[in-house]
Structure 1
Amino acid sequence: MKKKLTQLPIWIAYFFILLFCYAAISKIFDFENFQVQIAQSPLLSAYAGFVSYAVIIIELLIVLALIFTSTKRLGLYASLGIMVAFTVYIFLILNYSEFIPCSCGGILEKLGWTEHLIFNIACVFLAITAIIIIEEKSSKRFSTYCIRMISVVALNTSVVVYLFFSSEQIIKKENNFTRRFMMHPTLEEKSLQLSDSHYYFAGYDNENIYLGNRKFPQTLLTVNTALSNQTSIRINLDNMKHPFRNLKLAVKAPYYYIHDGTVPVIFRGKIGDSKARTISLQDAYFNQLIVLDSLHFALRTQSSETQQFVLADFNLNAGNKKLQLRPDILQKQIDGVFDIDGSFIADNFRSQLIYTYTYRNQFIVMDADLNVQKKMNTIDTVRLAKIESKRLADGIHKMSAPPLKVNLRSAVHKNLLFNQSDLMGKHESKKAWKEASIVDVYRTDKPEYVGSFYLFKKDKHSISDFMVTDKYLYVIINDKIIQYQFTKPITKYFTSGEAENRSKE
């Protein structure tokens, strides 16, 4: 037994040799992608060039140290150090970063962030076990090698924490604009407990609100507008053989639609009926869809010629001309993909479509035929999208640095656009930003900024979706729907009234 125990450090060393060889070689063979992914990290973005080379070199040096008997002890201490660094890095990303980057190659490509954190912790304990056995065999005093291990852990933790605080990150910065907060524009009325936190708003009518579920995409939840009753059905699709990736729900009475533009397919069912039938298959690929009529849609798709996002009219009654691209609506600034990303929404009351850019201060107002009526600005100063992207050899665009998000999500009702902003204005409380989200309100019939209001977190959870009706603002926070009643500062603008501040175009 004792002999087997003394052999354990050798087997642990072999494990780390295989681990770091695999990790380093996979990064070398896909170095361009690895470097782009490092640059996405809010923790390492300022050091992407140096770190991308340093990690590979360190992993290979550790392998060399572990191979030779004379340097095996040093290699195990180095293994402990780098695994501690990786563990602290992932912990900070998961718990303190506002931007969760893509995975960084190697085994991390196969595991999720949480799973890789657990894997790293296990590796840390393996390295500690091997070091203890080797040091005991060499008759070293416990206090001596214990101090060494603590020093290695402390040093590597300190380095990663320093990088976290010193690296240039995309944070909420003070911009050259001032918000005007309305006096009590909403009053919290009631809330309803949901079964989980994966719901989103799919639509509404005079009596009910309809919700889809990201985790269970064939679930349609119906909640009455008083939030006093809820019913759920599981949608049965007439064809389940498609390789679905991103099923989503949309409701426009009397039908619901379940669609996946990556397949591409659209199913339709009648509200109250669990059976949904295919109404479109292989007609158009898309990544956003708005229901205009029972067989008429507005889409955001990607041009096969330019690879850029474009809006399109999609009419299943139009014979051979079902899809009509409108490439002139979304204006390219940098890459035509990330720089024109945004949310595509509809004001059904006024038959208007709104496209709000994610990374710049502009939204576009269109009629139901996708004719541009107005292009207006939000009140912040980000006119040019602050992103860095790279097109890889396989043609896929990837962010090469964390982007500056301007607008997170939007809702529109009767000539008012409710836009959740991600930028702090002048003279705003940092404490309030930590405790709440800010919604800016604009008119869509003319370029006017109405005002702003806070939506405070519940149990430290921020809003994940919101929806606007004549009288109420419905918000999803974690696993609850919360109903806020609009007061006069908002409702007066549904018909007429002067704005409290004016935005500049």
Structure 2
Amino acid sequence: MKHFSILVPVTSYLYILLFVYAGFSKLLDYENFTVQLAQSPLLSAYAGVVAPAVICMEFMLSLLLIFRKTRLTGLYGSFFLMIAFTIYIYLILNYSDFVPCSCGGIIEKLNWTEHMIFNITFVILALLAIAFSEKEKHTRKHMVLLKTSLPSLLAAGVVVGLFLSSEHIIKKENNFIRRFGQHSLRDEKALDLGVNSYYFAGIAYGQIYLGNYTAPLVLTSVDTSLTTKVPAKLELDDTDLPFRSIRIQIETPYFYVYDGNIPIIYRGKLGDSHAHTISFEDCYFSQLQVIDSINFAFRAQSRSTKSQVLGRLSLNREPKVTLNYGLLEKQIDGMFDTDGKLLRDNSTGELAYIYSYRNEILVMNKELQLLQKLHTIDTISHAQVQVRRLSDGRHKLGAPPLQVNKTALLYKQVLFNESMLMGKFESRKAWQQAAIVDMYSTGRQEYLGSFYIYHRGENKMSQMLATDNYLFVLRGSEIVRYRFAQAVTANFKTGEAENPKQSKQEF
């Protein structure tokens, strides 16, 4: 029994050492500690509250453990806090969508499993010290059991409650806190294309197809292993037109060449360089997405309202063109404030429109019927655009607008969006070094997480393209391949797109 008498002070001193060191480590790098909590899969929504609370508890418990009269209270508090930390790690390892990096204080070199063992050791020490102290006070065993069980259950309840509510807030009611998963992308490989004027035209038969802004009738194929590059010159059946902005798009088994300023659409078969006119003067458009060989979704300016509108071109129908005036919502002028990107999910057929200057995403079916109206996690719901009306009736921007969303991609009901806004608890240095891509599930209508695409010198990401396993990025004169982690690909929807009733949801 005598050798057990040192258990209580030794355990108390170990906890004091742990809490004081950890508390001061967090204080000295408070911003980084808060960022780490914000990236936690369990506590993201409460990082601003939990960070100071944990530090205060660690210092307060250290004071209680110093003095003999308050030591038992300090041991119970330490037992409660360490139980909470242990439950937290257990939930991360078993129920989290992703496992963040393991970091912080005295145990920063340990992985999550080693953290668990470390914490369990301290839980056992605290429990033994409590039992010995209570025995000296002649406390009955069932009271000791009750007094240790209640903190355990309370700690577990608090952590589980924070986990469940934080998950709902982050995924459905986000107040602009990002989660950066551990190693969402890996295995980087790059191919130098020689010039920086390429754009993604599409992917088919294991080949990535690239268009070129400066050589508009050259279609270049690159194999997905990024080893070979083969250019091909396309031939159109009518080139005697004042082209202004020729673009190429791939939709197996065809390639399409178009210029909405003319307007004209050509179609040719992959493997054959000849393309023939399939639509001429049916409609003008500023953006086009191929639905199938005879159906197209487009964005144009309405002659009647002078606002931007989404429409559908069907070559086998009369009338060929149908416009859906109710999709793009005017906030200021209907032109600049509705600017954005028209996207198509080639795997499910879904269409989406993501605004450039506000946090809204429209999800539509092939007939341009609205399925959901979703929101990104930032708070810009109204476009911050200043528009000046000129004497000739034209509109011009009076000042640079606040851009919310830049380039985007829709693949298997996961929307990848390059955001231009910094979230809470994020490093400004990281924003200077990388593009931030947020992921959303259009089917489950929730935010999935974020990852970095790092710049290479002055070269930044300009466009993305996805496959089942890889993300391809154009960055300067390079095409770069990243492998998706399983945590990302697990969100890909297989089969046909869901067709929920029209609704308004928010991530």
The TM-score with structure 1 as length reference comes to 0.63
Give the secondary-structure state (helix, strand or coil) at the position aligned to 1:432. helix
SS at match of 1:434: helix
The within-5 A match list for 1:346-385 is 346-385=344-383
1:404 and 2:377 matched: no
* Distance in 2 of aligned mates of 1:249 and 1:307: 27
Residue identity matched to 2:350:
Q
Q: How many residues align?
A: 324
Identity %: 44
2:460 to 445, 457, 462: 462
Partners of 1:302 and 1:487 in 2: CA distance = 41
What one-letter code is carried by the residue in structure 2 that aligns with 1:349? S
Check whether the contact 2:363–2:372 (CA below 8 A) recurs between aligned residues.
yes
Q: Which residue of 2 aligns with 1:261?
A: 260
Give SS of 1:272's match: coil
- 1:211 maps to what in 2? 210
Largest Rg, 1 or 2: 2
Given residue 250 of structure 2, which amino acid in structure 1 is its aligned partner? V
The residue identity in structure 2 corresponding to 1:443 is S
Tell me the residue number matched to 1:414: 412
Instruction: Give the conservation status (yes or no) of the 8 Å contact 1:390–1:398.
Output: yes
CA distance in 1, matches of 2:270, 2:315: 21
Question: SS of the residue aligned with 1:493?
Answer: coil
1:494: which partner in 2? Answer: 492
Q: Is the 8 A contact 2:415 2:439 kept in 1?
A: yes
Matches within 5 A, 1:9-408: 177-318=176-317, 320-408=318-406
Q: Which amino acid aligns with 1:467?
A: L
Deviation at 1:395, TM superposition (A): 2.6
**Partner in structure 2 of residue 50 of structure 1:** none
Q: For structure 1, which runs of at least 5 residues remain unmatched after alignment?
A: 1-174, 497-502
CA separation in 2, counterparts of 1:399 and 1:176? 30
Residue type at the aligned position of 1:290: Q
- Residue correspondence of structure 1 range 425-436 to structure 2 within 5 A: 425-436=423-434
Q: 1:320-349 CA distances to partner (integer Å, 9 max, x unpaired)?
A: 400000111111111101111100010111
The one-letter code sitting in structure 2 at the alignment partner of 1:410 is A
Q: What's the offset of the Cα at 1:277?
A: 1.3
Q: Indicate if the aligned counterparts of 1:183 and 1:489 stay in contact, CA closer than 8 A.
A: no
- Match of 2:278, SS state, is strand
CA shift at 1:386, angstroms? Answer: 0.4
Q: Which structure 1 residue ranges, 4+ long, deviate > 6 Å from structure 2?
A: none
Give the conservation status (yes or no) of the 8 Å contact 1:312–1:323.
Answer: yes
Instruction: Give the drift of 1:444.
Output: 0.3
d(CA) in 2 for partners of 1:277, 1:504:
43
Counterpart AA for 1:326: N
The one-letter amino acid paired with 1:253 is: T
- The 8 Å contact of residues 221 and 229 in structure 2, kept in 1 or not, is answered as yes
Contact 1:258–1:268 (CA under 8 A) maintained in structure 2: yes
Q: Does the C-alpha gap of structure 1 residues 242 and 495 become closer, same or farther in structure 2, counting only changes over 3 Å?
A: closer
Larger CA deviation: 430-439 vs 221-230 = 221-230
Q: CA deviation at 1:275?
A: 1.4
Partner of 1:76: none
1:280: how far off? 1.0
Q: Does the CA contact (< 8 Å) of 1:180 and 1:451 recur in 2? A: yes
Runs of 5+ unmatched residues, structure 2: 1-173, 495-504
Deviations 1:199-250 (A, max 9, x none): 0101112411111011111110111111122211111111111111111111
Give me the CA root mean square deviation.
1.5
